């Protein structure tokens, strides 16, 4: 079963909007063991849209389009699909009922003057839109399906998952995937060193199990082995682990799995029954926001003080004015004081602090943009370190945050 996504909209190609539908659909399909084979992004231009549909129809079984089914004049998808399939638009009783129901849900009345949602191409199916107003459109022919979903990410995801896929199944499409994957997440060693110096035969060794990919991230490299048969996973993982354990990669592996670092930390802290907090300056709340993205983080995360101004470091964290003047706000001394001050006041078991220079301005020769001082405090430990990274302001915030979270993980593991 080959699945393809066509994302329609000038706003994506002009960079006004960041794609969110591929970002949702790709991992969703993958978890189901299904493959997304192609993605095409085109402008709101009839010739581009027709070309994309024609090409996709030749090579794929299921084609989902995102965008262009709203009420405004640049919403062309319905008309173009009608043209593609050689059908005329006409009133559809089912579409009309869906639209009336959707408007009732938001306490508004729909009439044929509101918009043309009740007109759909002949032989197409209008579908529910559980969270939006415009119906989805489905065209099934020659054992293939072309389906139009809204571009609004929330509507897109609900329509694909709760409406399109059940409909396809009811029409006899086989949507049961069977794919397993072992993921080795490493930290602190470049891709090339892994497959060169450290483990020159690893790639070939892993290829015995399936397709190997190497995935460098902002914080490390993931090695993925993908194979047919989810049922093989336990056995393969055991074998792969014993291969890796014979290499020098071991100290760099931080997880066998796909959890994010934040999620992994929250789980670890829960297991240990330990609480955490942060004192942030240059990361500006990003560390806390990452941790609170994880459901259930409130069991272990007590809070963070974003002490951006120096006065806030003094007033909230009892960092001494003297230390700030003597060593500077970005210094290991102040980072330590922040970590200790926050940990004591939050009454937490662990605290990591961040003071650095995210730029683009504010750097000096001794303290350049990219420098971060981090402090760590627990009941038995008060230490600090300085690291330097490269990148723009947002990348630096990200690297400052992730490196500090890796430190926290290490301390939790050494506990």
Residues of span 315-354 touching its own copies by CB under 8 A: 315-316, 345-347
| Structural contact between residues 286 and 298, judged by C-beta atoms closer than 8 angstroms | no
Site for its own copies in 272-301 (CB under 8 A): 278, 280, 282-289, 291-293, 295-298, 301
Shortest distance (Å) from residue 323 CB to its own copies = 18
Contacts with its own copies, 177-206, as mask; x by CB under 8 A: --------------xx--xx------x---
Neighbours of 414 (CB within 10 A): 7
Structure tokens given for 172: 């006899």
Shortest distance (Å) from residue 33 CB to its own copies = 11
Asked if 94 touches its own copies (CB under 8 A), the answer is: no
Tell me the site size for its own copies, rule CB under 8 A.
Answer: 101
Q: Rank residues 73 and 379 by Cβ distance to its own copies and give the closer one.
A: 73
Sign of CA dihedral 391, 393, 396, 398: negative
Asked if 245 touches its own copies (CB under 8 A), the answer is: no
DSSP letters spanning 192-259: HHIIIII-TTHHHHHHTTSEEEEEE-SS-EEEEEEEE-GGGHHHHHHHHHHHHHTSTTGGGEEEES--
Quote the CA–CA distance of 94 and 102 in Å, as a whole number.
12
Asked if 154 touches its own copies (CB under 8 A), the answer is: yes
Asked if 101 touches its own copies (CB under 8 A), the answer is: no
Asked if 26 touches its own copies (CB under 8 A), the answer is: yes
Q: Rank residues 38 and 87 by Cβ distance to its own copies and give the closer one.
A: 38
Phi first, then psi, for residue 24 (nearest 5°) are -85, -45
Shortest distance (Å) from residue 254 CB to its own copies = 16
Q: Which of 222, 239, 241, 259 binds its own copies (CB under 8 A)?
A: 222
Asked if 99 touches its own copies (CB under 8 A), the answer is: no
Q: Which of 44, 323, 349, 411 binds its own copies (CB under 8 A)?
A: 44
The DSSP H or E segment spanning 166 is helix 165-170
Where does residue 59 rank: exposed (0-12), middle (13-18), buried (19+ CB within 10 A)?
A: exposed
Site for its own copies in 49-88 (CB under 8 A): 55, 70-74
Quote the CA–CA distance of 398 and 376 in Å, as a whole number.
18
């Amino acid at each position: 079963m080959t699945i393809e996504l066509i994302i329609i909209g000038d706003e994506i190609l002009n960079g006004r909007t960041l794609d969110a539908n591929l970002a949702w659909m790709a991992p969703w399909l993958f978890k189901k063991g299904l493959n997304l084979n192609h993605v095409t992004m085109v402008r709101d231009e009839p010739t581009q849209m027709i070309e994309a549909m024609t090409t996709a129809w030749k090579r794929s079984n299921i084609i989902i389009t995102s965008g262009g089914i709203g009420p405004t004049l640049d919403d062309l998808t319905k008309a173009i699909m009608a043209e593609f399939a050689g059908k005329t638009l006409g009133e559809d009783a089912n579409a009309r009922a869906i639209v009336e129901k959707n408007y009732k849900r938001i306490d508004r009345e729909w009439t044929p003057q509101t918009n043309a949602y009740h007109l759909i191409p002949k032989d197409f199916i209008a579908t529910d839109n559980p969270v939006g107003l415009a119906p989805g459109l489905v065209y099934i022919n020659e054992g293939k399906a072309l389906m139009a979903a809204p571009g609004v990410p929330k509507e897109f995801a609900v329509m694909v998952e709760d409406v399109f896929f059940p409909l396809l199944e009811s029409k006899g499409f086989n949507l049961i995937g069977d794919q397993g994957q072992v993921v080795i997440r490493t930290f602190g060693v470049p891709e090339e060193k892994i497959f060169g110096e450290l483990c020159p035969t690893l790639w070939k060794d892993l290829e015995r199990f399936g397709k190997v990919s190497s995935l460098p991230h902002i914080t490390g490299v993931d090695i993925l082995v993908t194979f047919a048969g989810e049922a093989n996973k336990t056995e393969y993982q055991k074998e792969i682990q014993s291969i890796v354990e014979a290499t020098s990669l071991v100290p760099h592996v931080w997880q066998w799995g796909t959890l994010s670092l934040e999620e992994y930390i929250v789980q670890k802290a829960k297991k240990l029954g330990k609480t955490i907090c942060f004192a942030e300056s240059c990361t500006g709340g990003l560390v806390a926001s990452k941790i609170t993205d994880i459901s259930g983080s409130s069991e272990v995360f007590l809070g963070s003080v974003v002490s951006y101004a120096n006065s806030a470091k003094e007033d909230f964290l009892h960092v001494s004015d003297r230390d700030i003047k003597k060593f500077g706000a970005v210094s290991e001394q102040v980072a330590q004081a922040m970590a200790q001050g926050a940990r004591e006041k939050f009454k937490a078991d662990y605290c990591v602090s961040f003071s650095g220079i995210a730029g683009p301005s504010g750097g000096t020769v001794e303290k350049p943009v990219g420098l971060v001082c981090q402090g760590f405090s627990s009941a038995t430990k008060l230490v600090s370190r300085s690291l330097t990274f490269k990148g723009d302001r947002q990348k630096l915030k990200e690297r400052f945050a992730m490196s500090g979270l890796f430190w926290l993980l290490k301390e939790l593991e050494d506990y």
